[in-house]
Amino acid sequence: MSTQPDFVDPMGTTSLGTAQTPAWVRMQMVLGYDGAAYNGWARQPNVTGVQQLVEEALEMIVRRRVRVVVAGRTDAGVHARRQVVHFDLTEEEHEGLPRKASLEPGPALVRRINGILGRQEGAVWVHEARRAPEGFDARFSALARRYSYRIADGQHRWDPLTRHLTTWHREELDVEAMNREAQTVLGRHDFLTYCKPREHATTIRTLQEFSFTRGDDGLILAHLKADAFCHNMVRALIGAAMMVGDGREQPGFLATRLEQMVRDSKTKLSHPRALVLEEVYYPEADELAARALQTRARRTDDEVEQGPTQG
């Protein structure tokens, strides 16, 4: 049972377990989406984000507004293979999800929500849904997120059929040089140079993995894994590595820029269409609540230490 709902119920109160209010069931859902079809994850005025579609689909099912919390917001054009969200239902809503006695609530929700989302021609698709373990928070319980990025360097590798998932780069890239650069920024740092700061938010992150490999198809595949990524961080890191890979910048560029902690004309973003959120990692069920508390506390400590970030 959830102890902190993420929305106000129709009666205008968030108290739990009383005669006036229901008990809450936290749901955990995994979904994928084609980011090219939407203006990022978040709800925004005058444009369509993935969050809006998911919340509207849930509203059609339970007949009220449901707020969805995501593991990591993605920018416009960025895709997700296994994004994770959570949201809260009443016990009555949860038990009412199946239309057939043979289905459990989780699989029933998957079938019903995909029936609605399928009208978008498969651009958003739910893979699984279930009652979340106690203490689960899609955002703050996460241990890490992993992204991939595909690059076709050289016009002979450009394929129009995969252009919506691949960045095209005219010059050949030196994969070994980019890997050497990637190793210099691993670890816990203030990634201000490589982030678009949000007001009063920290840009301190722990980059756990960053590598480039050339596949049998000749394309370059980058992998990045971190405890969390701040806004534009992945695209800025890849953009900087590509500048060394094609000779525009000298070796040592990524580390030097990291130490400078400044966003300027040398901060280049790679194209969003090649970026995919591949996976979100969580601890064992009995460690979820503690992880959420630890993450919140650490982010607060980082913000106090760093102070408000400047754009």
Q: Please say whether the beta carbons of 179 and 190 come within 8 A.
A: no
State the sign of the Cα–Cα–Cα–Cα dihedral 245, 251, 255, 258: negative
Asked whether the domain spanning 144-279 has the same topology as the one spanning 24-132, the reply is yes
**Two tokens at 89?**
């239902």
With a CB cutoff of 8 Å and minimum separation 6, the contacts of 185 are: 191, 207, 210, 237, 254, 255, 258
> In the chain, what are the domain boundaries?
24-132, 144-279
Residue 90: the pLDDT is 96
DSSP category for residue 268: -
Token pair recorded at residue 6: 């993420």
Predicted confidence at residue 45, as pLDDT, reads 87
144-279 architecture in CATH?
A: 2-Layer Sandwich (3.30)
Core vs surface per residue 59-84: b (16+ CB within 10 A) or e: eebbeeebebbbbbbbbbbbbbbbbb
Residue 68: what pLDDT?
97
CATH of 24-132, one of 3.30.70.580, 3.30.70.20, 3.40.50.1470, 3.55.50.30: 3.30.70.580
The one catalytic residue among 6, 9, 34, 75: 75
Q: Is 75 tagged catalytic?
A: yes
Instruction: Compute the distance between CA of residue 168 and CA of residue 256 in angstroms, rounded to an integer.
Output: 26
Beta strand 24-33 with 167-169: parallel, antiparallel or unpaired? unpaired
| pLDDT tens track, the chain, 311 positions | 444 454 444 433 333 444 455 689 999 999 999 999 899 999 888 889 999 999 999 999 999 999 999 999 999 999 999 999 999 999 999 999 998 878 899 999 999 999 999 887 779 999 999 999 999 999 999 999 999 999 999 999 999 999 999 999 999 999 999 999 999 999 999 999 999 888 878 899 999 999 999 999 999 999 999 999 999 999 999 999 999 999 999 999 999 999 999 888 889 999 999 999 999 999 999 999 999 999 888 777 666 555 544 43
pLDDT at site 15: 37
Nearest-5° angle of CA 147, CA 149, CA 48? 75
